[in-house]
Chain A
Amino acid sequence: MRMGAGLLLVALALPLVIGNNYQLGIAHQALILILLASGYNLLLGFTGLVSFGHIALFAIGAYTSAILVVTFGLPFLVGLVAAAVLTGVVGVLIAVPALRIKGHYLTLLTLALGEVIRLAIRGMESLTHGSAGFSGIPRPSLLGFAFRTGTELYYLLLACVVLGVLFIARLERSRFGRAFKAIRDGETAAEVCGVDTAAMKVLAFGLSAVFAGVAGGLYAHTMRFISPEFFSLSLTITLLAMVLIGGRGTVLGPVVGAVLLTVLPEWLRFVKDYYLIVFGLAIWACTMFLPQGLIGLATRVFARKGRPA
Chain B
Amino acid sequence: MTALLEIADIRKVFGGLTALDGVSFTLASGQILGLVGPNGSGKSTLLNVLSGIYTPEAGEVRLAGQSLRGRAPHQIAKAGLARSFQNQQLFTGLSVVDNVLVGRACRLQAGVLASIFGGLAFRREEAAARQQAVDLLTLVGLGWAAEAEVQRLSYGQRRLLEIARALASDPKVLLLDEPCAGLSQAEADDLAVVITRLKTQGLAVIVIEHNMRFVMGLVDRIVALNFGQKIGEGTPAEIRANPAVVAAYLGGSSRAAH
Contact = CB atoms under 8 A, between A and B. Distances in A.
B98 A178 contact: yes
Interface stretch (B103-111, B224-232, B235-243): B103-111
Interface in A183-201: 184-186, 188-198
Given A171-B112, A176-B115, A178-B102, A193 B94 contact: no
Contact of B91 (A167, A171, A173, A189): A189
B74 A181 contact: no
B112 A176 contact: yes
A179 B117 CA distance: 18
Given A167-B116, A174-B110, A174-B126, A194 B78 contact: yes
Interface stretch (B59-67, B82-90, B137-145, B186-194): B82-90
A52 to B, nearest CB: 22
A186 B73 CA distance: 14
> Which of B92, B110, B115 is packed against the most chain A CB atoms within 10 Å?
B115
Nearest to B91: A185
Contacts of B98: 178, 181
Contacts of A192: 51-53, 73-74, 77, 82-83, 85
Interface in A164-220: 167, 170-171, 173-176, 178-179, 181-182, 184-186, 188-198, 203
B73 A171 contact: no
A239 to B, nearest CB: 21
Interface in B155-173: 165-166, 168-169
A249 interface: yes
B202 interface: no
Interface of A: prevailing SS: helix
Contacts of B105: 175, 178-179, 182, 190, 193-195
Contact of A185 (B77, B78, B94, B126): B94
Nearest to B78: A194
A171 B114 CA distance: 10
B251 interface: no
B102 A170 contact: no
A186 B101 contact: no
A154 B231 CA distance: 74
B93 A171 contact: no
Given A189-B85, A189-B89, A192-B51, A197 B74 contact: yes
Contacts of B83: 192
A203 B91 CA distance: 20
B182 interface: no
A190 B126 contact: no
Nearest to B106: A194
A249 B126 contact: no
A190 B91 CA distance: 9
Contacts of A189: 85, 89-91
B169 A194 contact: yes
Nearest to A48: B93
Interface string A91-133: 0000000000000000000000000000000000000000000
Nearest to B94: A181
A188 B89 contact: yes
B72 interface: yes
A179 B51 contact: no
Contacts of B115: 170-171, 173-176
A97 to B, nearest CB: 18
Contact of B74 (A175, A184, A191, A203): A191
27 contacts: A167-B116, A170-B116, A170-B118, A171-B116, A174-B110, A175-B105, A178-B98, A181-B94, A185-B92, A185-B93, A185-B94, A186-B91, A188-B73, A188-B89, A189-B85, A189-B91, A190-B91, A190-B102, A193-B105, A193-B165, A193-B166, A194-B77, A194-B103, A194-B105, A195-B74, A196-B72, A196-B74
Interface of B: 51-53, 72-74, 77-78, 82-83, 85, 89-94, 98, 101-108, 110, 112, 115-118, 122, 126, 165-166, 168-169
Interface of A: 167, 170-171, 173-176, 178-179, 181-182, 184-186, 188-198, 203, 249
Given A178-B102, A184-B93, A185-B93, 7 more contacts: A174-B122, A179-B105, A189-B89, A190-B91, A192-B77, A193-B165, A194-B78
